[in-house]
Amino acid sequence: MATKKEKLTLSDQGFWQKWISKLLFTFISVKLWGLIAATWVSTYLLTTGNPANSITGTQWVTFNTTIWALIFGMKEVFRISEQRDRTETENLKEHNESKARIASILATPSTNDLTKTTFMPDGKEIVGEEPDSIL
């Protein structure tokens, strides 16, 4: 079963180590450097005085909001997808456990005297036996 992530508070031991490592991994993330580069280049193009190599304020806003929205939107899509996959895996495991319990119950012979039935491990029921030979 998938374990839930532990949530730490400021006073918990190990909080600051995990926080610093998360911060460092974020800094070396490709997403972060992509956002920095895209923002820097678009800002440079906005502030240059050469009309042939510059962009307008509207273009700057459109470009940056689109890039940031795509990156953070995809992050949320992946997070939702991961949660859905985890839930489906847990549901499948529970379903398989239920099937195994039902099969084990059905595999045990019935103790009811009124009906003598036996269930095979594959779930098939034996309802009677061949009668003894008359001869």
Quick: pLDDT tens for 42-57.
Answer: 999 999 877 788 899 9
R_g over Cα of the chain = 32
Q: What pLDDT does 51 receive?
A: 79
Indicate whether this model's pTM tops 0.75: no
Interval 21-34 mean pLDDT? 79
- Are 42 and 63 spatial neighbours (Cβ–Cβ below 8 Å)? yes
Q: Reduced to 3 states, what is the DSSP secondary structure of residue 118?
A: strand
Q: What pLDDT does 114 receive?
A: 47
Q: What pLDDT does 6 receive?
A: 65
User: Which is more confident, 12 or 61?
Assistant: 61
